[in-house]
Structure 1
């Protein structure tokens, strides 16, 4: 009997080793966060089995875990490129610009939608990318340009359809207290970050239905985590995330898969230029009522520009995690619903989703690097007495 069990243990260990090797081979083909999460999960299960069970049963359970992971990773393998066509909005700079170059190198037929087809970003794409890439004039807030872009895409892809649409175009505005943000900034953020993505999606869905392809929307961690100073931007990205969740269920009937990318802090040109900041500050100061300006103080408003310096200090310069996640969303047999590239992004999203509000608010305030000053009225020692 002992000999039988010994042989069974050795057999289980051999099976575990084989399955573990197969899992590792699959991991090499799995980009971005897929591999990291699987390694953590398999390691956790293996350690748990060894600590709580006998060698025989832990070997059996660990073998089963490896087998299930092998099946799971098989579904995460990337489909062949086969000159699949992808439309990317906001390709002038940032994620869209880097993604256009990246997918072009992988062999995709790329339609890079830009706000200014004569700008430096568009010219660089024409100069550095292959003939497969086409630069399209595509301001997502301009319905006529969306229609023109659709016509040009149809002309090139013909009966193949369009494999993927990546709604990347977005604006940030000047980060400042929600009370101080002009209504025009709220409307501009919604126009670009939400309504623009919706209109592009609606226009190109007939082509995605033909290919049973992918819809990928670039949201933000700010769309799930309430971040101070980002009321306009965060609200627009939250709307985009909800739109994506609804479309994911509706478009599943047509064979179209929908994914949302929620990056953490990365350095891109979404923050704009000094000239843009000057204009935004002037707009804020020009539209404030005297009592609001008195309470906040002009010095407080002008100090908010330091937010950009902090983003530059803590933001990641390497966009590779974002590019790998978007590639997985476009190419995997079974892409994920949500991707959270960037260190700590998924932790904050999980934290706000599952922790009580009072706990989240406390830690968010405690670790918020962007709250470095207080409005003028709150700095006054007798403010509380006046309020009462």
Structure 2
């Protein structure tokens, strides 16, 4: 039994060494489109891939975010404004990517969008509160993925969806947790379907990190707003002490 366990461990070590030795070569013309690049993980990834020679197309929610990113990267990095809650904005971004790839297809799509607020007890929320998060962090990401699939198929590229593991712990109400689980399910389904076309689909579940999207002051402001609009019946059922604590 000990020999079998030792052999299995050695096999896994060799497998990991061989797997990790594989590197993407000939980066010229390999385009990677990344969402959520104003700050945080998307921003850092865009800079990292740019330094390694990929042709990065970074989607930013604001013009300021795009300007700041371009100022510290090579001339090959391109930025495009993207509002994931707006189908027209998504279509414009896809048209920009299509033009930049110039018939070569898209080597990689990295999706990263984390609209978190509002988060609160479920009966504090209205349907539009769920929409405000899910339209960006779930439906928006699904829409842009669907519209970029023809380019990904052409290049036999890959889709990488970045998901915060804190979103998998359903300890508070709101659209954030629903979006996270939704992206997990969407990715798993897409992975099986795209195997036929040589397109790889991966999920990277990262831990918590401080970024502009995680702002305790903003979350607190949303909680105050939600508390103030509650009906007297719901507010009384929780009590002032619950809100203050």
- Report the TM-score, using the length of structure 2 for normalisation: 0.89
Q: How many Å separate the matches in 1 of 2:221 and 2:180?
A: 23
Shift of 1:284: 0.5
Higher relative contact order (CA 8 A, sep 6+): 2
Q: 1:294 aligns with which of 227, 236, 242?
A: 236
Residue in structure 1 matched with residue 211 of structure 2 by the alignment: 268
**Contact 1:223/1:241 (8 A) holds in 2:** no
1-structure distance, mates of 2:72, 2:79: 12
1:215 Cα deviation after fit: 0.6
Deviations 1:258-317 (A, max 9, x none): 11122222111112473x44652343124311111112234533x4xxxxxxxxxxxxxx
Q: How does 1:1-388 map to 2 (within 5 A)?
A: 52=2, 58=3, 62=6, 65-66=9-10, 69-76=13-20, 77-80=22-25, 82-83=27-28, 84-117=30-63, 119=64, 121-226=65-170, 228-272=171-215, 274=217, 276-277=218-219, 279-301=221-243, 303=244, 373=245
* Matches of 1:131 and 1:245, distance apart in 2: 35
Give the number of the structure whose alpha-carbon radius of gyration is greater: 1
Secondary structure of the residue that 1:270 maps to in structure 2?
Answer: coil
Kindly provide the CA deviation profile for residues 130-154 of structure 1, in whole angstroms up to 9, marking residues without a partner as x: 0111110111111111111111111
- Which whole-Å CA distance do the structure 1 matches of 2:34 and 2:139 have between them? 16
Aligned-residue CA RMSD (Å): 2.3
Q: CA deviation at 1:64?
A: 7.2
Distance 1:250 1:182, change over 3 A: same
Matched positions, count: 243
**Is the Cα–Cα contact under 8 Å of residues 120 and 223 in structure 2 kept in the other structure?**
no
TM-score (structure 1 length as normaliser):
0.58
Q: Which runs of 5+ in 2 are unaligned?
A: none
Question: CA 1:299/1:109 → structure 2, altered by over 3 Å: closer, same or farther?
Answer: farther
Separation of aligned partners in 2, 1:273 and 1:116: 21
SS of aligned partner of 2:154:
helix
